[in-house]
Structure 1
Amino acid sequence: MRQRSGGEQYYEPFRYYVRNKNYTLYLIGICVIVFFLQTLIHPFTYYFVLSGSNLYARPWTLVTHIFLHGNMGHLFFNMLFLFFFGPVLERRVGSDKFLFIFLFCGLLGGLGHVLTSPDSAVLGASGALYGVLGTLVILEPDMLIFVYFLPMKITHAVVLLAAFDILMSGSGDMIAHTAHLSGLLGGLLIGRYLKQGSVKKRSF
């Protein structure tokens, strides 16, 4: 993380990957391997995707659905997001906490989808990624990111993304907007908890 004039921060992910061991690359690797298994083994997705109708019979799908993806584009953009934002949060909170945030918010995203759309299946890491984004917006609110090549503070980007998901909920566009919002909410709450803990430590 470097400092720009005016207090804005930006991040160099490649330098982090060279210098640090991290869980971000492991998660990316798992998602890529799982996608190839989905492609090679026809019933693989069926047994690990999450839906309200199979949750009681297959409770593990609350976690396994996070690592499944619908197509190559879905996988690519989710992993690109994780590649750039995962190391930022992992360095900020530590690898163990980062992994917890990723899995917890992914699970929360799945639950949010099941509760609002019990008859449809959900797969993908988007809920977990929104949790990463939500935690970052609390811990690093001045971080500068690029949205469709436009620079903006992460705070403004999250507001726009949340507004879009709220407006598009129930649209039937095959995107799990409720999972996004549920994961984001989890990340915001975790970020607030971590920030309060950091403030208390500095006050002593």
Structure 2
Amino acid sequence: MFNNIPPITRNIIIINAVVFVVANFIFKDQLIESLAGFYPFSPYFKSWQVITHMFMHGSIMHILFNMLTLFSFGPILENALGEKRYLILYFLSGLGAFALFNLWNFVEVQQITSSLNELGFNTNAYLAGAQVNFSGSSEAILKQQELVENLKNIVATPMVGASGAIFGVVAAFATLYPDAKIAMMFIPVPMKVKYLMPILIVISVYLGVSGNVGGIAHLAHVGGALVGFILAWSWRKHLYRFN
């Protein structure tokens, strides 16, 4: 059965599985620090992470859910779009996910930085790795410590997973096949994907902006879905040319 999966989808699943085993059981700490996607202005960021983070996963359930979703939607799109456009869709969706997620991070970092600077804390020196001491009243010090902890969570917490790219695949599927019905774990009745996808996007935007992330990069899902929708919308009128 696995051999019947189109080559791009099959190879993406294989690479993700291999990287998961290597990163989580053989070279865990080294690869996570090197290949996960850190905030671009973080001292931990490396340029290749914009791609490699798509192949990193934090748990067995994380990778299983992502690969099962890709297995469900990927082959249909790969056959419809062709290998080249499908590959473009997948990786541009992943890049869009990384971009939107970190654009929101940038907004939050600017707000934190502004507040810290008003309290006399040298944020630039701190981000450069210098030892910076808190100063001022006890109340000001407590506020600085809280803000620095929030800043640390952004610059030192990596983004991992293929979810953004896969949301792009699902959004493209919804754009090309809007009347297809699918069922999900938390929705017992099959629903047309053209109705389900907007619901998922609204929920992701709310959770991402409100801060109720639960360890999930919800805005990355939105970024991937937007790219997938835009690409599929631009291609669908000429879909017959791809086959």
TM-score scaled by structure 2? 0.71
Q: Tell me how far 1:58 sits from its aligned partner.
A: 1.0
Q: How many residues get paired?
A: 185
Tell me the amino acid that sits aligned with residue 9 of structure 2: T
Farther off after superposition, 57-66 or 117-126: 117-126
What SS does structure 1 have at the residue aligned with 2:97? helix
Cα deviations by residue, 1:75-112 (Å, 9 ceiling, x for unpaired): 11001101111101111111121111111101110111
Change (3 A) 1:192 1:97: same
Cα deviations by residue, 1:157-193 (Å, 9 ceiling, x for unpaired): 2022112102211224211011000000001100110
The reply to whether residue 171 of structure 1 matches residue 212 of structure 2 is: yes
Tell me the amino acid that sits aligned with residue 160 of structure 2: L
Q: Tell me how far 1:198 sits from its aligned partner.
A: 4.0
Specify the alignment match of 2:93 in structure 1. 105
Specify the alignment match of 1:146 in structure 2. 183
Specify the alignment match of 1:10 in structure 2. none
Q: Tell me how far 1:30 sits from its aligned partner.
A: 0.3
Specify the alignment match of 1:160 in structure 2. 199
For the residues of structure 2 that align with 1:171 and 1:156, how far apart are their CA atoms?
A: 24
What percent identity do the matched residue pairs reach? 29
The reply to whether residue 86 of structure 1 matches residue 74 of structure 2 is: yes
The answer to whether the Cα contact below 8 Å between 2:6 and 2:75 also exists between their aligned partners in 1 is: no
Tell me the amino acid that sits aligned with residue 16 of structure 2: C
For the residues of structure 1 that align with 2:43 and 2:66, how far apart are their CA atoms?
A: 24
Change (3 A) 1:58 1:154: same
Q: Cα RMSD (Å) of the superposition?
A: 2.0
Change (3 A) 1:21 1:76: closer
The reply to whether residue 25 of structure 1 matches residue 10 of structure 2 is: yes
The answer to whether the Cα contact below 8 Å between 1:55 and 1:62 also exists between their aligned partners in 2 is: no
Specify the alignment match of 2:160 in structure 1. 123
Runs of 4+ in 1 over 3 A off after TM superposition: 17-21, 53-57, 196-199
The answer to whether the Cα contact below 8 Å between 1:102 and 1:128 also exists between their aligned partners in 2 is: yes
For the residues of structure 2 that align with 1:54 and 1:103, how far apart are their CA atoms?
A: 23
What SS does structure 1 have at the residue aligned with 2:7? coil
Q: Tell me how far 1:18 sits from its aligned partner.
A: 5.5
> Which consecutive unaligned segments of at least 5 residues does structure 1 have?
1-13
The answer to whether the Cα contact below 8 Å between 2:180 and 2:192 also exists between their aligned partners in 1 is: yes
Bigger helix fraction: 2
For the residues of structure 1 that align with 2:87 and 2:78, how far apart are their CA atoms?
A: 8
Change (3 A) 1:19 1:77: closer
Q: Tell me how far 1:115 sits from its aligned partner.
A: 1.4
Specify the alignment match of 1:7 in structure 2. none
The reply to whether residue 47 of structure 1 matches residue 84 of structure 2 is: no
